């Protein structure tokens, strides 16, 4: 990887870490920062697709409602590939789901796509998934 692409990877990594930290703090402005207005997310719970930043914002109360008071939102493994104007990240993530019967770890897969817009890395797509169970 050349030095420029290494800088791009580190810039994207910083945005992902800031975003995950904002999730743990339930900081909605921080969560939405650096997201495109026409952002698209594919999620595990319905709706399976959210289009636009407002629809994305509307998904967070469900997550926070099923999380401990301080949400667990850990990046377990993260790999980033970045060019000069497009990047993507794949990660294994861990959160905790609270149910009436107690809480349990919920491991999921995350893919994030970025586009450099007006010189700034911008989240344009997220995809969350869990392995299918029989």
Please tell me the pTM assigned to this model.
0.92
Nearest to 39 by CA among 114, 108, 94: 114
pLDDT in tens, 109-131: 999 999 999 999 999 999 999 98
How many whole angstroms separate alpha carbon 71 and alpha carbon 42? 21
pLDDT in tens, 43-99: 988 888 999 999 999 999 999 999 988 999 999 999 999 999 999 999 999 999 888
3 falls in which pLDDT band (50, 70, 90)?
Answer: low
How many whole angstroms separate alpha carbon 19 and alpha carbon 28? 10
Instruction: Tell me the CA distances in angstroms from 30 to 2, 23, 42, 79, one per residue in order.
Output: 30, 8, 20, 22
Question: Domains along the chain?
Answer: 3-129 (3.10.450.50)
């Amino acid at each position: 990887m050349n030095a420029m692409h290494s800088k791009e990877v580190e810039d994207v990594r910083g945005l992902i870490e800031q975003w995950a930290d904002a999730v743990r703090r339930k900081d909605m402005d921080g969560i939405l920062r650096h997201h495109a207005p026409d952002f698209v997310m594919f999620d595990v719970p319905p709706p399976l697709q959210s289009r636009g930043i407002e629809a994305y914002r509307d998904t967070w109360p469900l997550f926070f409602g099923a999380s401990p008071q301080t949400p667990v939102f850990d990046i377990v493994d993260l790999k980033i590939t970045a060019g000069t104007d497009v990047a993507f990240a794949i990660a294994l993530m861990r959160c905790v789901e609270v149910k009436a019967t107690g809480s349990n770890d919920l491991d999921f897969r995350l893919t994030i796509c970025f586009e450099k817009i007006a010189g700034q890395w911008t989240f344009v797509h997220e995809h969350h998934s869990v392995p299918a169970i029989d």
